[in-house]
Amino acid sequence: MEKSGRIMEVFLITGTSRGIGKALAIRALEKGAKVYGYSRNCTIEHSNYTHTSVDFSDLKQVEKIDFPDGVFTSVILINNAGSLGEMKHVGKLTENGVVSTYHINTIAPILLSNKFVAKYRNVQAKRIVLNISSGAAIHLSDGWSIYSSTKAALDTFTRVAQLEQELDNTGIRFLSVHPGIIETKMQEEIRKNQQEDFSNVEYFRELKSTGQLKTPEHIAKLLLDIVEGNYEPEDVVFSLRNHPQY
């Protein structure tokens, strides 16, 4: 367990090897924060960055994660790691694919959120859990039965967790964000699908060809605006598209 005697902002971010997670980590580091990253691979080198290698499909590895002690002005958990999983119609899914996607997208964030509240509930600092969800939780499409349901479950968990923090007077805030359509590895995977597995694939290919995808760096900036209190979401579960700078 790492200890820190310094007063500082601390970010605990999953999925920091690429995409939104990496962009969030880099932006937080640029602002002088201490960042703890959790992902399979380490792709960030910085004196204020501490990496833990984790495969979020393996819950035994998730259970071993130990969040840092210290004196913080704020400690922010961002559950960003996610998997698209198998984009296939029901009847073509595999058991391993279903279980792995639920582990990564739903169960791991819940376990980490539980660790966070247990460890920091009495800490005198700003404490936020920001879950990176998806509009797929409410905008349904064929081929997304698993991905959509994992994100819908995460949204519901976030709502209940926030209600519990209010009842328990912990001062911890829970949020779940639908960040929009972003140029990430996940989008590349979506565009590779066949029409028979995902009938909306041409729509996503068109978004790419017409330059309508947001960059991870832009999304990271807006998400940190929320964490820093510069933008107030309309609800516990919210769409980033409503941010005036989206």
DSSP assignment string, 45-90: --TTEEEEE--TT-HHHHHT--PPPSEEEEEEEEE----------T
Please say whether the beta carbons of 109 and 79 come within 8 A: yes
Which of 147, 203, 231, 246 is an active site residue?
A: 147
Q: Which of 15-29, 172-186, 218-232 has the lowest mean pLDDT?
A: 172-186
Confidence band of 196 (pLDDT split at 50, 70, 90): confident
Using a pLDDT cut of 90, give the percent of the chain over it. 82
Measured in whole angstroms, how far is the alpha carbon of residue 243 from the centre of its chain?
18
Q: Which residues of 165-192 are buried (b: 16+ CB within 10 A; e: fewer)?
A: beeeeeebbbbbbbbbbbbbebbeebbe
Which CATH number is associated with domain 7-181+215-240?
3.40.50.720
Confidence band of 193 (pLDDT split at 50, 70, 90): confident
91 vs 118: CA distance, rounded Å: 40
Q: Is pLDDT of 21 > 80? A: yes
Confidence band of 1 (pLDDT split at 50, 70, 90): very low
Q: Is there a catalytic annotation at residue 49? A: no
pLDDT in tens, 82-110: 999 999 999 999 999 999 999 999 999 99
The pLDDT of residue 6:
58
Q: Which of 14-18, 44-48, 99-103, 186-190 has the lowest mean pLDDT?
A: 186-190
Domain definitions of the chain by residue range: 7-181+215-240
- Does 90 or 202 have the greater pLDDT score? 90
211: left (phi over 0), alpha (psi -120 to 50) or beta: left
Please say whether the beta carbons of 53 and 41 come within 8 A: yes
Provide mean pLDDT across the span 114-135: 98
Confidence band of 61 (pLDDT split at 50, 70, 90): very high
The pLDDT of residue 2:
46
Q: Is pLDDT of 81 > 90? A: yes
Q: Is pLDDT of 3 > 60? A: no
Q: Is pLDDT of 119 > 70? A: yes
Q: Which of 69-73, 141-145, 196-200 has the lowest mean pLDDT?
A: 196-200
Q: Is pLDDT of 198 > 60? A: yes
The pLDDT of residue 185:
76
